[in-house]
């Protein structure tokens, strides 16, 4: 038995929402003759398993009230948790009131984040998922971890039970300290979920003027340790819970770079949730080909045609259930990740034949809840509101200004909208050529917009794609007329850009000289 251990665990309070493993854990406690105190559904589950349980109401002498809102908020519970065993006055106070020490608290909280992820959840319903008694008990036990153990995760059950059995029902000081740290992190993350939800709601209904908090706080549990970071000599880990956004169905664990690419792919495909069958291929977070067509298979072939070299080892994402014909076409090359909202029968088996390939199912609706974009810099963090998904095409185009003599045709408008959505997700400087809802050339991440334009043309020429009759999108304004003139010389017939340059008049004049249509969005989508 550790010499730093307090009194043995003789009484445990179990109150959990997630009942995974709780019956087996309780059995191991009872094998040590630990009295189990419990509430509501937890007590019912334990009794159903044949375990002896003391109701909290029998400890407090007060029944649950307000339909279970008040159960454990009573001195008999909290004095039992908070009493310092080394203080004779604390223990005398327990005796005076007829209270018994509680040596172990086991709890997890209402699934607030899961509840509010449902878009149908209103504010009143959300507030019913705000746990009061649970966090109070966990914090009390964590505060008094010198004497009390606190367990907040089913993953902790086996290790805690093993130590109790090996050490005559005692928990060591390091174990109690570690469990307390986990408990405070658990309750802090829970409170932050509630704050995030309420803050987002305030922004949505106009009751808050602040887009960003005065202090940025984040406490995210480590979801998994990664083999390494961006490079093998860097350590890496994923913090948070991405399960609301996607689910990996096959393949080895996602790497640091895989996770970056997956996030970029999910954000891109969100732009096309209202479009026809759409396929996007990404490499190193940049789209190398995107297309919308009558079928996913046609969309894949058109997207791949943009750049037939880069997709090897890249990511493919689609906005429709992935059918076998499209899957067979994708399977002709090695793609590291394939993402779809669903996979039709037999498709998973087909694509799973490559062990190195990861298969992911994405949840489109969940991504809108991610409100802030955070990046690290020396000395701190940069925080901004996330660049939102563009509205449907009809709404988007209502905001456009047409400064040129010739307005775009309906076909050009559709292609301009398409190219603009793609350019939004290309690293700046970004230039995208497109025609018939498919990319032809993508210029990404260049130091000058001229270089980006030349790269986009080079990519199209390399893939033997004709730019005649195409449209061109730029994520920021054309600083000089020469960029637009170069696009016109390649055969582009229309352009979309934010506008706002002091030389806009020159650029518009150049467009008119080449009978090009141009629209100004009034909003740039620079992606550093």
* Number of domains into which the chain is organized: 3
Give the CATH number of the domain where residue 294 resides.
3.40.140.20
Looking at the structure, do residues 26 and 175 belong to the same domain, yes or no? yes
Q: Is residue 449 part of a domain?
A: yes
Looking at the structure, do residues 496 and 402 belong to the same domain, yes or no? yes
Give the CATH number of the domain where residue 69 resides.
3.40.50.1380
Q: Answer whether residue 125 shows pLDDT above 90.
A: no
- Rank 16-20, 133-137, 523-527 by mean pLDDT and report only the highest: 523-527
Number of alpha carbons in the 13 Å side-chain half-sphere of residue 425: 30
What are the backbone dihedrals phi and psi of residue 122, each rounded to the nearest 5 degrees, phi first?
-90, 175
Q: Is residue 273 part of a domain?
A: yes
Residues 6+ apart with CB under 8 A from 268: 280, 282, 287, 290, 317, 422, 425
Looking at the structure, do residues 269 and 313 belong to the same domain, yes or no? yes
Whether 186 is catalytic: no
Q: Answer whether residue 116 shows pLDDT above 80.
A: no
Q: Is residue 369 part of a domain?
A: no
Looking at the structure, do residues 35 and 151 belong to the same domain, yes or no? yes
Q: Answer whether residue 351 shows pLDDT above 60.
A: yes
- Candidates 250, 284, 301, 514; catalytic one: 284
> What is the arithmetic mean of pLDDT over 495-517?
90
| Number of C-beta neighbours around residue 78 at 10 A | 19
> What is the arithmetic mean of pLDDT over 332-359?
93
End of a domain among 172, 197, 222? 197
| SS3 track for 457-495 | HHHHHHCCCCCCCCEEEECCCCCCHHHHHHHHHCCCCEE
> What is the arithmetic mean of pLDDT over 79-91?
84
Q: What is the DSSP string of 232-258?
A: TTS-EEEES-GGGTEEEEESSPP-HHH
Looking at the structure, do residues 357 and 454 belong to the same domain, yes or no? no
Q: How confident is the model at residue 208 (pLDDT cuts 50, 70, 90)?
A: very low
Q: Is residue 226 part of a domain?
A: no
Q: How confident is the model at residue 438 (pLDDT cuts 50, 70, 90)?
A: very high
Looking at the structure, do residues 122 and 270 belong to the same domain, yes or no? no
- Candidates 143, 250, 301, 514; catalytic one: 143
pLDDT number for residue 58: 75
Q: How confident is the model at residue 206 (pLDDT cuts 50, 70, 90)?
A: very low
Comparing 369 with 436, which gets the higher pLDDT? 436
CA dist 231 to 228, 234, 257, 336, 403, Å? Answer: 7, 6, 9, 17, 47
Q: Answer whether residue 209 shows pLDDT above 50.
A: no
Q: State the average pLDDT for the chain.
A: 86
Kindly tell me the burial class for residue 249, based on how many C-beta atoms sit within 10 Å of its own C-beta (0-12, 13-18, 19 or more): middle
pLDDT number for residue 366: 47
Q: Answer whether residue 52 shows pLDDT above 90.
A: no
Q: Is residue 260 part of a domain?
A: yes
> What is the arithmetic mean of pLDDT over 312-319?
95
Q: Is residue 290 part of a domain?
A: yes
End of a domain among 153, 178, 197? 197
Q: Answer whether residue 293 shows pLDDT above 50.
A: yes
Quick: pLDDT tens for 239-268: 888 887 899 999 999 999 999 999 999 999
DSSP 3-state of 279 = strand
Whether 143 is catalytic: yes
- Per cent of the chain over pLDDT 90 is 43
pLDDT number for residue 369: 54
> What is the arithmetic mean of pLDDT over 275-283?
96
Looking at the structure, do residues 398 and 358 belong to the same domain, yes or no? no
Q: Answer whether residue 516 shows pLDDT above 70.
A: yes
Query: Pairing between strand 315-318 and 278-283?
Result: antiparallel
Q: Answer whether residue 45 shows pLDDT above 80.
A: yes
Comparing 92 with 210, which gets the higher pLDDT? 92
Cα 310 to its chain centre, rounded Å, is 27
Q: What is the DSSP string of 51-94?
A: ---EEHHHHHSS--BTTTTBSS-SHHHHHHHH--TT-HHHHHHH
Looking at the structure, do residues 118 and 68 belong to the same domain, yes or no? yes
**Tokens describing residue 112:** 């607030």
Looking at the structure, do residues 142 and 51 belong to the same domain, yes or no? yes
> What is the arithmetic mean of pLDDT over 373-401?
88
Looking at the structure, do residues 57 and 168 belong to the same domain, yes or no? yes
| Number of C-beta neighbours around residue 230 at 10 A | 11
Spatial distance between the Cα atoms of 312 and 416, rounded to a whole number of angstroms: 28
Q: Is residue 218 part of a domain?
A: no
CA dist 237 to 227, 229, 247, 468, Å? Answer: 8, 7, 18, 47
Q: Is residue 268 part of a domain?
A: yes
Q: How confident is the model at residue 84 (pLDDT cuts 50, 70, 90)?
A: confident
Q: What is the DSSP string of 367-409?
A: GGG--EEEEEETTEEEEEE--PPPPPHHHHHHT-B--SSSPPP
Looking at the structure, do residues 35 and 133 belong to the same domain, yes or no? yes
Q: Domain limits at 458?
A: 393-520
Spatial distance between the Cα atoms of 254 and 437, rounded to a whole number of angstroms: 31
| Number of C-beta neighbours around residue 350 at 10 A | 15
Looking at the structure, do residues 409 and 349 belong to the same domain, yes or no? no
Q: How confident is the model at residue 204 (pLDDT cuts 50, 70, 90)?
A: very low
């Amino acid at each position: 038995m550790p010499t730093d251990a307090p009194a043995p665990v003789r009484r445990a309070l179990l109150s959990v929402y997630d009942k995974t493993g709780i019956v087996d854990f309780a059995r191991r406690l009872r094998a040590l003759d630990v009295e189990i105190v419990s509430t509501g559904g937890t007590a019912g589950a334990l009794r159903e398993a044949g375990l002896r349980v003391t109701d909290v109401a029998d400890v407090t002498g007060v029944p649950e009230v307000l339909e279970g809102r008040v159960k454990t908020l009573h001195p008999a519970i909290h004095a039992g948790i908070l009493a310092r065993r080394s203080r004779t006055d604390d223990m005398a106070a327990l005796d005076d009131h007829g209270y018994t020490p509680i040596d172990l608290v086991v709890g997890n909280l209402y699934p607030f984040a899961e509840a509010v992820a449902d878009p149908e959840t209103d504010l009143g319903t959300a507030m019913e998922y705000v746990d009061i008694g649970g966090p109070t008990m966990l914090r009390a036990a964590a505060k008094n971890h010198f004497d009390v153990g606190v367990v907040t995760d089913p993953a902790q059950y086996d290790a805690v039970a093993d130590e109790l059995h090996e050490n005559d029902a005692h928990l060591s000081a390091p174990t109690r300290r570690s469990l307390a740290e986990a408990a405070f992190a658990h309750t802090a993350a829970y409170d932050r979920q509630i704050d995030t939800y309420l803050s987002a709601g305030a922004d949505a209904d106009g009751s808050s003027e602040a887009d960003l908090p005065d202090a940025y706080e984040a406490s995210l549990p480590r979801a998994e340790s990664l083999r390494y970071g961006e490079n093998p000599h860097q350590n890496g880990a994923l913090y948070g819970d991405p399960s609301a956004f996607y689910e990996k169905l096959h393949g080895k664990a996602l790497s640091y770079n895989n996770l970056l690419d997956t996030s970029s792919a999910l954000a891109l495909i969100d732009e096309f949730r209202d479009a026809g069958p759409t396929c996007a291929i990404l490499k190193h977070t940049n789209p190398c080909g995107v297309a919308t067509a009558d079928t996913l298979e046609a969309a894949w072939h058109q997207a791949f045609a943009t750049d037939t070299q880069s997709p090897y080892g890249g990511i493919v994402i689609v906005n429709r259930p992935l059918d076998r014909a499209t899957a067979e076409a994708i399977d002709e090359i090695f793609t590291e990740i394939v993402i779809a909202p669903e996979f039709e029968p037999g498709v998973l088996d087909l694509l799973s034949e490559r062990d190195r390939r990861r298969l992911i199912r994405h949840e489109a609706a969940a991504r809108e809840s991610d409100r802030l974009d955070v990046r690290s810099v020396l000395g701190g963090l940069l925080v901004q509101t996330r660049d939102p998904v563009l509205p449907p095409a009809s709404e988007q185009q209502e905001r456009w200004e047409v400064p040129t003599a010739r307005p775009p045709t309906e076909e050009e408008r559709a292609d301009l909208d398409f190219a603009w959505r793609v350019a939004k997700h290309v690293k700046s400087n970004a230039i995208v050529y497109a025609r018939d809802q498919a990319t032809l050339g993508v210029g990404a991440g260049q130091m000058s917009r001229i270089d980006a334009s030349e790269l986009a043309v080079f990519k199209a020429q390399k893939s033997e794609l004709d730019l005649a009759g195409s449209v061109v999108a730029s994520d920021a304004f054309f600083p000089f007329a020469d960029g637009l003139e170069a696009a016109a010389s390649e055969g582009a017939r229309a352009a979309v850009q934010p506008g706002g340059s002091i030389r806009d008049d020159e650029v518009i004049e150049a467009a008119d000289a080449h009978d090009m249509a141009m629209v100004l969005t009034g909003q740039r989508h620079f992606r550093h």
